[in-house]
Amino acid sequence: MVFGFDCLLCLIAAWVALALRLGEWPHDLHALLILTATTLLFWTIIAWPTGLYRNLIRFSGARASGRLFYACAMLGIPLTIIFGFIQIDGVPRTIAVLHPIIFFLLMLFMRLSLRFVVSDYLHLARGRTEERRRLLIYGAGRGGQQLANSLRQEPHLLLVGYIDDDERLSNQQLDGITVWHSSILDSVLEERRVNEVVLAIPSALRVRRREIVEALQARKIRVRMLPGIGQLIDGHFAVNDIRDVQVEDLLGRDAVAPNELLMGRSLLSKNVLVTGAGGSIGSELCRQIIHSRPKRLILVEQSEYFLYAIESELRRLALAEGCELELIPELADVADKDSVFRIFRRWQPETVYHAAAYKHVPLVESNPIAGMRNNIFSTLYCALAAEAVGVRRFILVSTDKAVRPTNVMGASKRVCELILQARAQEQDKTLFTMVRFGNVLGSSGSVVPLFKQQIAAGGPVTITHKDVTRYFMTIPEASQLVIQAGGMAEGGEVFVLDMGQPVLIRDLAETMVRLSGLTVRDAATPEGDVEIIEVGLRPGEKLYEELLIGDNPAPTVHSRIMQAREAVHPWNSLSDILEGLADRLRQGDVSQALSILHKLVPEYHRPTHKAAAPNLSI
């Protein structure tokens, strides 16, 4: 049908071109027919192979128009040869240029007209069976415009306009859609009866995103957002990629671009080993490490499934990035000395990231023997094996719970730090360093996944105490900073990551409820959807976490990495105590093991508050 239309347009173009050239309507039908027939012959030869008639008209856009222009330009070549050099009676030579231009404009007009007619018809036809949601795009930049183009094909969505913070765009139009300034957001939402707002500002600071989301939530407007900026740059997103705002989009800080020198110093073309490679931090460390193109990456993990999952993912990532490296999966328990030494001797790593640990406070509190064995002695054996094979850099992933710990997990991680500090004093062949930070958003055992499950079940959302605060950081940012801190290592340092401002856990819970499109049920709003209740602090839990044992941390070359100044245990006395602890653990003597742990970490003490059952909240 489209080709038939084009044949008719070719005749009209020939008639108009001759009229423009001659200054009068043509009377010589012979010349008109020769021009039309010649043009259609070559148009068929050019258009069919280029796939012009395989395009769906209702999806025609800039790319289809460009291909149409290219085909018309190609058409001008044979027409110039025939009518310019050979010459046909009654057909002027300039027609070879004039006709393709007019033909292109007519075809372009016809396609765009059909596109809008067909789209409007489909919208009306489908709109009769379902109510269309009225949508507002926040952000009139490239992302917002790409989204608007995609929305034209969605009959159940109606774009009513844009909102933008740029005053220069106020009351302007983008492809017929009005842009309003954010200062009149309230009136726009009311007058246009907006049901949903999509944030199309992927490069905006987290603080600004949080302000916008909180303002819209107060008006009970659903808020969603576009995918990451990388997809927008590539143009690889569709309407189905629009997602709900996650708490990770609002918490934390805006990432600082990593220092590539520090990132690559301990990774580029090196043998790198990661313990706990299938865990939340370990797996993200592996992803970041691949970007720095090591020669070999050894993945050590005791969970068969997690090891399989991270190896499969990393192979796909390496292939996508064109990174040629050897991936080695090692299924092993790093608290087993023989396995550790076997792996280190076989693969001879140059850089080691020790992320393997039991980190869930209530579970380790209930299972102190397993927690101390896994955390303390995996670190000891990995450190000794690293020295034995000549590892250059050994980086321990530590935790803020190691500072004045009130639980076994935190105290055991402090012992891990003491081990590496002591070994750093004993030798200088292996650079031992520790990186301490707080909670990461979305990790296994994190409060965020638990709150999501409780909200999905209709509540209640359980918090341990209304005054509990925690530091939060995104997993990618934490992993990048760990790698960069490792690049600074000179031996024995305890690096502390700048975690930003602590977050009140109750505020976090309320934010997550509102992001789910629900309301908090409390004394002020008894008709709310989800209740938030306190269940009491768990065994070993603090109201707030600390990052430093001492005061006055030293700055480093990175603005978000500090160096702590803390006391060190001499290795001779430490090793004797560790031997006694190992013996108590083998015998299952919990009381004596905890006594030795307190001797190693004198600041370790259990809180005196009444704790709740360990399975109620994170």
pLDDT above 80 (res 218):
no
| Least confidently predicted of 4-8, 269-273, 432-436, 588-592 | 4-8
pLDDT at residue 124 in the model: 53
Residue 616: pLDDT band with limits 50, 70, 90: very low
Is pLDDT above 80 for 236? no
pLDDT reported for residue 444: 59
AA letter at 314:
L
Q: Do domains 133-245 and 268-600 have the same CATH topology?
A: yes
Res. 129 pLDDT band, cuts 50 70 90: very low
Closest among 324, 333, 325 to 301, alpha carbons compared = 333
269-278 mean pLDDT: 93
What does the pLDDT average to over 266-292? 90
Please give the pLDDT value at position 283: 92
Average the pLDDT over 274-281 and give the result. Answer: 92
Q: For residues 354 and 394, is the Cβ–Cβ distance under 8 A? A: yes
Q: What is the strand order of the sheet 520-521 is part of? A: 461-463, 530-534, 520-521
pLDDT at 614: 37
Give me 298's structure tokens: 């050894």
Q: Kindly state the tokens that stand for 89.
A: 């009676």
* 242 pLDDT more than 80: no
Q: In the chain, where are the structural domains located?
A: 2-125, 133-245, 268-600
How many other C-beta atoms are found inside a 10 Å radius of the C-beta of residue 211? 13
DSSP-based three-state secondary structure for 550: coil
User: What percentage of the chain carries pLDDT values higher than 90?
Assistant: 24
Alpha-carbon distances of 94 from 44, 289, 547, rounded to whole Å: 22, 63, 80
Query: Which one of 207-211, 348-352, 452-456 scores highest in mean pLDDT?
Result: 348-352
Instruction: Using pLDDT thresholds of 50, 70 and 90, give the confidence band for residue 302.
Output: very high
DSSP H or E run through 330: strand 326-331
Cis peptide before 460 (omega within 30 of 0): yes
Q: How would residue 544 be classed by pLDDT, with cut points 50, 70 and 90?
A: low
pLDDT digits (tens, 9 = 90+) for 151-197: 766 667 788 888 888 888 888 878 778 888 888 888 888 888 888 88
439-467: average pLDDT? 77
With bands split at pLDDT 50, 70 and 90, how would you rate the model's confidence at 552? low
In the predicted model, is pLDDT for residue 531 greater than 60?
Answer: yes
Q: Which fold has domain 133-245?
A: Rossmann fold (3.40.50)
The pLDDT value recorded for residue 119 is 58
Partners of 395 in the β-ladder? 353, 433
Question: Concatenated DSSP letters for 57-99?
Answer: GGG--HHHHHHHHHHHHHHHHHHIIIIIII-BTTB-TTHHHHH
φ, ψ at 581 (rounded to 5°): -65, -45
Average predicted confidence (pLDDT) for the chain:
80
14-32 pLDDT tens trace: 788 878 777 777 666 777 7
At residue 583, the 3 state secondary structure works out as: helix
- What 527-531 contacts at long range (C-beta under 8 Å, 24+ apart), as own/partner pairs, is 529/458, 529/459, 530/454, 530/455, 530/458, 530/459, 530/460, 530/461, 531/459, 531/460, 531/461
Looking at residue 459, what is its pLDDT? 79
**Residue 274 predicted with pLDDT over 90:** yes
Token pair for residue 300?
A: 């050590």
Higher pLDDT, 267 or 502: 267
Instruction: Give the model confidence (pLDDT) of 467-526 as tens digits.
Output: 887 767 778 878 888 888 888 878 778 888 776 677 788 888 887 887 777 778 888 888
What distances in angstroms separate CA 132 from CA 14, 159, 254, one per listed residue?
45, 10, 36
State the catalytic residues: 401
At residue 395, what are phi and psi to the nearest 5 degrees? Answer: -115, 125
pLDDT recorded at residue 617: 34
Integer Cα distance of 300 and 308 in angstroms? 11
Cβ–Cβ < 8 Å for 236, 457 = no
Q: Which residues contact 512 (CB under 8 A, 6 or more apart)?
A: 247, 448, 451, 452, 455, 461
Angle between helix axes 95-127 and 62-79 (nearest 10 degrees) is: 160
Q: Does the pLDDT of residue 551 top 80, yes or no?
A: no
What is the fold of 268-600? Answer: Rossmann fold (3.40.50)
Q: What is the pLDDT of residues 377-399, one digit of tens each?
A: 999 999 999 999 999 999 999 88
